[in-house]
Structure formats: C-alpha cells, structure tokens
Amino acid sequence: MPTVAFDSTWFLRRSNVSPFKALLGVSITVNDKEEFRNIYDRAIDNCFEKYGVEKKKNIYKAAHLTDQVLDKTTNLIKDFIHLVSESIREINVYYTFYPTNFTGEIITCRDSYPRPYKPEKFMNLIFNAYPHYCVWKYFKINRQLQDYNFEVDYFHGKITPAWREIQELPNLRLYFNGDQCNKLISTADLILRYINNTMPGRLGLMNLTRCLREIIGDTDLRSHFMGPRVDYLNAMAFDDYIDIDTRAYISRPIYWILWRGYTGSSEEKKVLEWNPIYNEIMTLVEEVGGCARLYEHKDIPHLLNPEMDKICIVNNMAEPYLRSIQSIAPEVEIIDFRR
C-alpha cells in the first residue's frame, strides 16, 4: 500500500523592505515504504561520507542537520534529495499566505461566538495544525486514495471543517517527533528546509520547479496555494473552540523518554538530543513503527497506553518520574538506558 508522509514549517523571507511569511507544507508519496527506508539509509551514509562529516544520527530532522554541518547543509540536502527522488512517486507542496489587498479579517469561532482575526494572527493560530490542512487538501483532490497510509508529523489545534473531512481516514497516523523517528517525514522536513534555503522569489509552481526540478528528475511535483479563496477559508477556520482529539491516531507504541536535567532549560534539552542514547531510542522507535515523546507530567494520564507504550529511563535523576508512572501503570514495560 502506498504511503504519503506530511510535514510543515514556516516559509520566511526577511527583507528590510517587504518581509514575507507563509505557512509551508510538503508531502511525499512512495509506493514501497520498506524499500524507501533502505534507500534513505544509503543516501544519508553516502552524503555524510561525501562531505567528510561524522554521521551522529540515523534519522535527521533539518534543524539537527543544520546544527551539525552548518554551511554544508544546503548542498548535503540537495544531494540527499537527488539520491532518494527516484523512489518518490510524487512531491506535493502546500502553502498559505493572505495578500493584504485581498484579505481583510478571517472569521473563526472562539468561546462559542464568532471572532475576527487579522491574517497574520490567523496564520500564527493555525501554524501547529497546518499538517492536517495539507492532508485535507491531498485527500480533497485524491478521494479515491483514501486507503493509502497517511503518516503525519504530530499536530494539534482546534476543530475545523477540514478535520471533520479527514478524521475517518482508515490509515491516518500521527508521529510525535516524526522528523526524528520516521524516515519519510524526515525526508519531507529536509525538502522543506531546502525550499526555504534556495527558493528563488515567491512561492508558486514555476519557482518551485526552478528550485527542485534539477534534483528530483522525473518525480511528479505539484503545488497547492491554500490562500484567501472562500472554500479554503471555510475549511481552515476553526468552527469550534475545542482541541482536536488526536489520541486515537497516534502511532503506537510511544516510547516515553524519561530524562531530567540539572537546570530544566530548553538548551539543556538540546544537549540530550545529541546523546547517543537518544539516537539509539529513535532508531529503535523507527524500527517498530512507533514514535517518541519526552516525558511531561500532564501527558501521562491521558496519553499513556500501558499495554502498548514503553518507558525509556535515560538517567538517574529521572527516577521520580518513573515511580510516578508506575504508581498509575505498574504493568507498563520499562527499558533502562542508563549506562
């Protein structure tokens, strides 16, 4: 069964004259996921060897790649996309912005009554939910493909008409940290970064073709502007100020990473992501088709599935977290990664 993988980000062009900001998503469609996983491994190995850089991860998201290889990032991603493109059947690019001369205020529902938002504020509100709009658009023009596997980087947001159309897809799966534990989502993320780094001018099929055609060869490339048209606005504006319940769609097992730093700062968490143990966990997660999430107190009561999920304890300072989980789910499997 073919698989379609989705990821999204901001598209940014900074300028003293006219800075430009848009929502940007990419999906890739492959006929054989298992074959693609092997091709991904060979391509990553080839690229790191070519640029004389040590490979520290088996699956790379764009931000990690940039942190490690710096000015080599764009060329390395270019070579990677070229190597995997023959196994990609189709690349779809989705983007949203609202020209001020076409769009006034966008009406949404908030606390049971309509509320207008300026376009830039609306884009900020829907940023974390953008992958589901991309799934909706793909499904809207490919309804005969509803039995495909849809693998999507985790999103959250309010209930929208777009969500109501896709929530019955039989094979819709969401992945926490998908760009670190799913090779298809990682590839979509790397394509997003390449577009951001090299796009000549504004978003549009002509410029996307100039950006990608040389490296993707005959792979089908399509673009979708989900802008100020009424049908897009009606589908994308949330009509109920209640969060989408994504729990039934999360790919299991979730490997919960129990780690506690000395300061609790976000910078300290970034160091964890370069720990070889972290890479080991992500590799294991990818092999079983699950996803991974750093432990947070508030998530456990509602998201933990003791029969399927795994608890990965990374350091001794996280021992209190482990005892807390075992107090409510004594049967959950524990994997001890402490060295």
Q: What is the pLDDT of residue 31?
A: 97
Listed residue (178, 153, 173) closest to 292, CA to CA: 178
| H or E, element range at 87 | none
Read off the pLDDT of each residue in 27-37 and give the average, rounded to a whole number. Answer: 98
Give the CA angle between residues 86, 89, 149 to the nearest 5°: 130
| Each residue's pLDDT tens digit, 221-230 | 999 999 999 9
Q: What is the pLDDT of residue 110?
A: 58
CATH architecture group of domain 252-336:
3-Layer(aba) Sandwich (3.40)
Q: Beta 158-159 vs 20-30: how paired, if at all? A: unpaired
Read off the pLDDT of each residue in 64-89 and give the average, rounded to a whole number. Answer: 97
Sheet holding 90-96, edge to edge: 172-175, 149-153, 3-13, 20-30, 90-96, 220-225
> Which pLDDT band, with edges at 50, 70 and 90, does 16 fall under?
low
Read off the pLDDT of each residue in 258-287 and give the average, rounded to a whole number. Answer: 91
Assess whether pLDDT exceeds 60 at residue 111.
Answer: no
Residues 6+ away with beta carbon under 8 Å from 304? 254, 256, 325, 328, 329, 332
Assess whether pLDDT exceeds 80 at residue 259.
Answer: yes
Assess whether pLDDT exceeds 70 at residue 231.
Answer: yes
Q: Are domains 3-247 and 252-336 of this chain identical in fold?
A: no
Residues 6+ away with beta carbon under 8 Å from 284? 255
Q: What is the pLDDT of residue 15?
A: 63
| Phi, psi of 323, deg, nearest 5 | -65, -35
> Which pLDDT band, with edges at 50, 70 and 90, does 19 fall under?
confident
Residue 135 in tokens: 């799934």
CATH of the structural domain 3-247, one choice from 3.30.70, 3.30.420, 1.10.3210, 3.40.50: 3.30.420
Assess whether pLDDT exceeds 60 at residue 178.
Answer: yes
**How many angstroms separate the Cα of 215 from the Cα of each of 28, 199, 202?**
15, 14, 20
> Which pLDDT band, with edges at 50, 70 and 90, does 311 fall under?
very high
Burial of 13 (0-12, 13-18, 19+ CB in 10 A): middle
Listed residue (321, 91, 62) closest to 194, CA to CA: 62
Q: Which of the 8 DSSP states describes residue 317?
A: G
- Write the DSSP assignment of 4-67 as a string of letters: EEEEEEEEEE--SS--EEEEEEEEEEES-HHHHHHHHHHHHHHHHHHTT-----SS--HHHHHH
| Each residue's pLDDT tens digit, 321-334 | 999 999 999 999 99
Q: What is the pLDDT of residue 112?
A: 61
Say if CB 130 and CB 93 are below 8 A apart: no
Q: Which region among 2-16, 181-195, 203-217 has the lowest average model confidence (pLDDT)?
A: 2-16
Q: Which region among 18-27, 78-87, 99-108, 183-192 has the lowest average model confidence (pLDDT)?
A: 99-108
Read off the pLDDT of each residue in 39-47 and give the average, rounded to a whole number. Answer: 98
Residues 6+ away with beta carbon under 8 Å from 52? none
Listed residue (212, 198, 195) closest to 24, CA to CA: 195
Residue ranges of domains in the chain: 3-247, 252-336
Q: How far apart are the first and last CA of the chain?
A: 40
Say if CB 6 and CB 178 are below 8 A apart: no
**How many angstroms separate the Cα of 18 from the Cα of each of 21, 26, 98, 202?**
10, 25, 14, 12
Q: What is the pLDDT of residue 106?
A: 87
**182 vs 279: CA distance, rounded Å:** 13
Q: Which of the 8 DSSP states describes residue 224?
A: E
**Per-chain mean pLDDT for the chain:** 94
> Which pLDDT band, with edges at 50, 70 and 90, does 302 fall under?
very high
Q: What is the pLDDT of residue 104?
A: 80
- Write the DSSP assignment of 239-281 as a string of letters: SEEEE---GGGB-S-EEEEE---SS--HHHHHHHTTSHHHHHH
